[in-house]
Amino acid sequence: MTQTPGPTAARRGRPRSAAVDRAVIDTVLRLLTEGTSFADLSMENVARQAGVGKATVYRRWPGKDALLLDVLAAVEAPPAEPAGHSLREDLIASIEAIRHRTLAKQENALLRNMLLHLHSSPELWQRYYETAIVPRRRTLARLLERGVAEGELRPEIAEDLELAMDMVAGPVLYRATIRPDLLQDDTLAERIVDWFLQGARPQDGKTPGPRYA
């Protein structure tokens, strides 16, 4: 997998079984979903649970980090791309997608483990970030840019798109990580987006603006 010996050259002998790769990766995902942390994952136990020889695992991956790298690559990128109706509806769909994704045990387990290793394993984090976060974020960015272009959002929003994205996605992601119990609310995405838009639309006439007491 990570180190296929011959490229596409006529390889001799018995070929590697693709079923083994799947079995190992599926087992890791299952264990993570069941609450095992990265640290508690052992090559030994993974091999045992997958019904696979330990040497077979080491033949494919030199160690746990390399295996985890492939596990992250295996969680498929989301199709997403709401790109449909009104800005409001698309934003709601986008936030709702985040909410649902982080409610799923597997995604949640991956996220929490990756957050712990954000600093200690930059390579792992990089892979996770680009697989799981960047696509969603790009979708959201395009939505906001379109909103600005069509005059539905204040022009200043385009100047710091990162902040705008965090203003609308931050609340749900905060709950996803710190208060998962408050994530059940089905109307959450809608209420967040409406609130966000209230401060994001062009001001008609008298702008309230920062008022000092």
Residue ranges that bind a second copy, judged by CB under 8 A: 35, 37, 39-40, 85-89, 112-113, 115-116, 118-120, 133, 152, 160, 162-163, 166-167, 169-175, 177-180, 182, 188, 191-192, 194-201, 204-206, 208, 210-213
Q: Could you tell me the smallest distance in angstroms from the CB atom of residue 28 to DNA?
A: 12
What single letter denotes the amino acid at residue 197?
Answer: L
One-letter identity of residue 189: A
22 binds DNA (CB under 7 A): no
CB 83 within 8 A of CB 144: no
Q: Which does 72 bind (CB under 5 to 8 A by kind): a second copy, DNA, none?
A: none
Q: Which is nearer to DNA, 53 or 151 (CB)?
A: 53
Tokens 């069941």: give the residue. Answer: 34
Q: Which does 99 bind (CB under 5 to 8 A by kind): a second copy, DNA, none?
A: none
Structure tokens at 161: 């798109």
Write out the two tokens for 104. 């799923």
Alpha carbons 110 and 49: distance in angstroms, whole number: 19
Nearest distance, CB of residue 61 and DNA, angstroms: 9
- Structure tokens of 139? 């979708």
| DSSP assignment string, 133-202 | IHHHHHHHHHHHHHHHHTTSS-GGGGGGHHHHHHHHHHHHHHHHHH-GGGG--TTHHHHHHHHHHHHHSP
Establish if 105 lies at the interface with DNA (CB under 7 A). Answer: no
Amino acid code (one letter) for 169? A
Q: What minimum distance in Å lies between the beta carbon of 203 and DNA?
A: 58
Q: Which of 34, 37, 51, 123 binds DNA (CB under 7 A)?
A: 51
In the complex, the smallest distance separating the C-beta of residue 48 from a second copy, rounded to whole angstroms, is 20
Which residues in this chain contact DNA in the complex, by CB under 7 A? Answer: 5, 10-17, 20, 42-45, 51-56, 58-60, 63-64
